[in-house]
């Protein structure tokens, strides 16, 4: 049996709904796992301090992720379909807001992909899905190159700001404690750190540098933009599943 491993990128700003979407896809896609980019952030002790505002900067692309570690992990996942055993995730410690989808949507796509899995197994191919979600997913070219599908969720500034302020914090790695610690945003962190870093990391992949409205400029090949407020989560799941189904069908026919 030949194994085919497919990496699905789900990118977007903090609080854009990318992790929620990723978790719905994991429930639908048979033989699937999630890799969270947040888990490749450096330990809290090593996060750089912003030169102007004097607070730790968890968001600027250069220092927010340990890129060699993430690239190595994705190479391993791409080769085996299994998350490396030494990888530790803190996602289960974070606040989990349930954004449900219609059960008819869930059942439809779950059945559809189970049928696809059966068809491919009958042809001697075992499919494994790896969903990679992250707020800087399309910044590093070696990460982008590993992704077979590239989805990007966009939500307007004010909505993201409100959602971020409603969060109670993020669990992050620390060198002394495997469970990590809780990070809470200092005053004005969104305006001074988070949003400027998001713009800086993404203005190069959209037309006119417009991260809220610009179309993909082709720098990230095959990037599909979804406006998060124009679609319900059920619609978002359906649209992404359609993309995945079309993509795997087309590759099988070629």
**What is the domain-level CATH number for residue 81?**
3.40.50.300
Q: What pTM, to 2 d.p., does this model score?
A: 0.90
Q: How much is the average pLDDT of 28-51?
A: 91
Residue that is written with structure tokens 């189970």 in the block: 114
pLDDT at 176 over 60: no
The confidence score (pLDDT) of residue 100 equals: 87
The pair of three-digit structure tokens given for residue 153, joined into one six-digit string: 């969720």
Is residue 244 within a helix (H) or strand (E), and if so which, with residue range? helix 233-253
- Higher per-residue pLDDT: 231 or 89: 231
Lowest mean pLDDT segment, chosen from 48-57, 78-87, 128-137, 175-184: 175-184
The pair of three-digit structure tokens given for residue 236, joined into one six-digit string: 């978002």
The confidence score (pLDDT) of residue 91 equals: 45
Cα–Cα dist 25/216, whole Å: 23
Cα–Cα dist 87/50, whole Å: 28
pLDDT at 174 over 60: no
The confidence score (pLDDT) of residue 94 equals: 46
**Segments of the chain assigned E as strands:** 2-12, 32-36, 125-134, 149-154, 170-174, 177-183, 223-227
The pair of three-digit structure tokens given for residue 124, joined into one six-digit string: 């001697």
The pair of three-digit structure tokens given for residue 46, joined into one six-digit string: 């090593």
Domain housing 180: 2-253
Q: If DSSP codes are grouped into helix, strand and coil, which group holds residue 72?
A: helix
CA dist 75 → 103, 129, 147 (Å) = 35, 14, 11
Count the domains in the chain. Answer: 1
The confidence score (pLDDT) of residue 110 equals: 97
The confidence score (pLDDT) of residue 90 equals: 53
Cα–Cα dist 238/226, whole Å: 12
Of the pLDDT bands very low, low, confident and very high (cuts 50, 70, 90), residue 93 is: very low
């Amino acid at each position: 049996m030949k194994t085919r491993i497919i990496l699905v990128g789900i990118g977007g700003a903090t609080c854009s709904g990318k992790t929620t979407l990723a978790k719905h896809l994991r429930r639908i896609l048979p033989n699937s796992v999630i890799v969270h980019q947040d888990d490749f952030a450096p330990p809290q002790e090593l996060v750089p301090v912003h030169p102007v505002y004097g607070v730790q900067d968890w968001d600027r692309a250069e220092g927010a992720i340990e890129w060699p570690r993430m690239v190595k992990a994705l190479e391993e996942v791409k080769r085996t379909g299994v998350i490396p055993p030494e990888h530790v995730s803190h996602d289960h410690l974070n606040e989990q807001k349930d954004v449900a989808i219609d059960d008819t949507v869930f059942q439809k796509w779950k059945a559809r992909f189970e049928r696809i899995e059966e068809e491919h197994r009958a042809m001697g191919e075992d499919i494994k899905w790896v969903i990679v979600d992250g707020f800087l997913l399309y910044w590093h070219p070696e990460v982008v190159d590993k992704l077979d599908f590239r989805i990007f969720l966009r939500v307007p500034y004010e909505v993201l700001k409100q959602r971020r302020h409603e969060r109670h914090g993020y669990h992050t790695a620390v060198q002394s404690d495997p469970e990590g610690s809780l990070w809470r945003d200092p005053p004005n962190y969104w305006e001074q750190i988070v949003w400027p870093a998001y713009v800086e990391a993404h203005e190069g992949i959209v037309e006119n540098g417009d991260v809220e409205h610009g179309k993909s400029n082709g720098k990230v090949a095959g990037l599909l933009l979804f406006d998060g407020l124009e679609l319900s989560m059920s619609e978002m799941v359906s649209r992404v599943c359609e993309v995945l189904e079309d993509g795997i069908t087309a590759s099988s026919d070629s």
